Amino acid sequence: MPTSMVSVVVGVALLAIAASAVVPSAAQSRQESLIAEALRLQSIYDIAHREAVRTGQPHAVTYDDTTRTFEAFVADISVSPPDNAGTLHHPVTKQPVIYTLPNGIDVSPAPDPFQFGGGVDSAHVIFDAWGMPYNGVPGNHLGVLNGTLAVSNGNSSVRVVINAHTGRVILQ
């Protein structure tokens, strides 16, 4: 059965309509996955902050640029840089609070995303017993000047922000 030019045009038009419906969905899906990754990062900082207040012990989150991994732990601040005094476990899943960035997701600035007073940059943030963030140098409670991580997927970004005074973690 021969194909008429009209049926070919109708078929191409239907394909074009279907493709136009898929393209916005793919862009929306990329934005939603970016927000999901930013929420995972927010939850790591939030868990460390809450556990510091709950237990009265310093808790930290550190970023390793070579492995692209964030890890939350109980911080031994008697040494500089602070040492890992115990793995922090998620309050519900009981799994270690460790997060590796998936391919296609980046954070900036890296490798030292946090800026403290006195020109000190750091790959970690420590929350003291009151939940205030600082750089972990004993006796040096310098506030975070820039507690912002930009989480991006190449096209757009979401910011994870740590409040310098309260330690509260939000998305912007």
pTM of the model as a whole: 0.76
Q: What is the domain class of 5-171 according to CATH?
A: alpha beta
At 50 the pLDDT is 93
Rounded Cα gap, residues 54 and 147, in angstroms: 22
Map out the domains of the chain as residue ranges: 5-171
- Which residue intervals of 78-159 are DSSP H helices? none
Q: CA-based angle 84:58:164, to the nearest 5?
A: 115
Per-residue pLDDT of the chain (172 residues; tens, 9 = 90+): 566 777 767 676 667 676 666 555 666 788 888 899 989 999 999 999 999 999 999 998 888 888 989 999 998 877 777 788 899 999 899 999 999 999 988 887 666 666 555 555 667 888 888 888 876 555 555 555 567 778 888 888 888 888 877 888 888 8
Cβ-contact 72, 48 below 8 angstroms = yes
Neighbours of 103 (CB within 10 A): 6
Nearby residues of 89 by Cβ (< 8 Å), 6 or more positions away: 95, 96, 97
CB 86 within 8 A of CB 97: no
- What is the model's pLDDT at position 49? 93
Query: What is d(CA 102, CA 99) in angstroms, rounded to the nearest whole number?
Result: 9
Exposed e or buried b for every residue in 21-30, given b needs 16+ CB within 10 A?
A: eeeeeeeeee
Q: How far is CA 96 from CA 41, 48, 89, 92, 158, in A?
A: 14, 12, 4, 11, 25
Give residue 48's pLDDT: 93
97 burial level (CB within 10 Å; 0-12, 13-18, 19+): buried
How much is the pLDDT for 79? 77
Q: Given this model, what pLDDT does residue 162 score?
A: 84
